[in-house]
Structure 1
Amino acid sequence: MTTNSNGTLSTRTGFRFEMRRARPEDEPTLAEFFTHVTPEDLRFRFLGGLKVVSHERLVAMTRSDDADIHNFLAFSVNGLLIAVAMLACDQPRRHGEVAICTREDHKHLGVSWELLLYIAKYAEGLGLDTIESIESRENRAAIELERDMGFTVTAYPDDPTLVLVRRQLGCTAPS
């Protein structure tokens, strides 16, 4: 796969959505998106008790001047922002950290699965060897999805409330 960052994705349920890279002008849309995310999902995404996503975080999620951070937005066919995804690569570009967040009213449609698959293929296109995510142990849905996609789960060093999920790239995800 090339590292093209735009395209239409379709889930197993037949739900279709558009993916593209985030841009600075997306900040207000992204701020509005986070008002449709449950407090629990906000906590899982940022691994903290965040109630509102700050302007500084929104700017970081929409900037395009860092070649090692890739922020993606998923829009429904009617233009509604339904999910966000991030891939942060380490400096030698061998490993990447992934974070995904989906709107409450668009869960259980297969969006997160397709986003994670998309990010894995994108990371492979960049030449990364592995992708990983730090998850709260309470985030059972995400951990199960990642296991289903071939990620391994290990304890996170020095924090028993977290786990590290990791996937070697170059492996085909279950379909």
Structure 2
Amino acid sequence: MTTDSNNTLTTRTGFRFEVRRACADDEPILAEFFTHVTPEDLRFRFLGGVKEVSHERLVAMTRSDDALVHNFLAFSVDGKLIAVATLASDQARRHGEVAICIRADRKHLGVGWELLAYIAKYAERLGLETIESIENRENRAAIELEREMGFTVTTYPDDPTLVLVRRELPSKVPD
């Protein structure tokens, strides 16, 4: 991953995109983004049969008033929203749950890999000990990517259709 100070990332394929925190004004572009996500990816992202992302979910993904929830947007150089990511920390600020969704026509460019690496580094800076994601077992591409990035995969308690992927983060070095 290469990144510069303005959060521009470059994938192994040479694809460049910028990442920034979401804000309340982003709700319309986020709603439009989800019209370019496959039904399968919507199901994987929200772990259920979501056909359309509700206003309430869009508000939750663009709010900035919760110190435990960090929402990110990734834009291609032409300004198009191509991916969204959320990092939600527990109250103790030790563990974070990650969720990423990529626009259908921007998949297979390395965006998921770079965005997950970016979120992991962000989580490290926050001092989190682990990051994890709950994945549908059918989401093989995401599970394989996470394995390649050092995540371990275990059965999710009480639901055989899901797995828990988790990665320990390096200890935060005091300033």
Large movers: runs of 4+ above 6 Å: none
Fraction of identical pairs, as percent: 83
8 Å Cα contact 1:147/1:153 also seen in 2: yes
Q: Distance in 2 between matches of 1:93 and 1:8?
A: 27
Counterpart CA distance in 1 for 2:115 and 2:25 is 22
Cα deviation digits, residues 32-84 of structure 1 (max 9, x gap):
00000000000000000000000000000000000000000000001000000
Q: How far off its partner does 1:6 sit?
A: 5.3
Computed over aligned residues only, the root mean square deviation of the Cα atoms, in angstroms, reads: 1.1
Listed one character per residue, the Cα deviations across residues 84-132 of structure 1 (whole Å, up to 9, x for unaligned) are 0000000110000000000000000000000000000000000000000
Structure 2 residue runs without a partner (length 5+)? none
| Number of residue pairs matched by the alignment | 167
Which residue is equivalent to 1:160? 160
Assess if the C-alpha contact under 8 Å between 1:6 and 1:21 holds in 2. no
- Structure 1: 5+ residue stretches without partners: none
* TM-score with structure 1 setting the length: 0.94
Distance, in Å, in 2 between the alignment partners of 1:30 and 1:107 is: 17
DSSP 3-state at the match of 2:158: coil
Contact 1:69 1:87 in 2 (8 A): yes
**What is the SS of the residue equivalent to 2:29?**
helix
In structure 2, what is the Cα distance between the partners aligned to 1:48 and 1:6?
35
- Structure-2-length-normalised TM-score: 0.94
Counterpart amino acid of 1:134? I
| Code of the aligned partner of 2:73 | L
User: Do 1:130 and 1:167's aligned partners in 2 also have CA atoms closer than 8 Å?
Assistant: yes
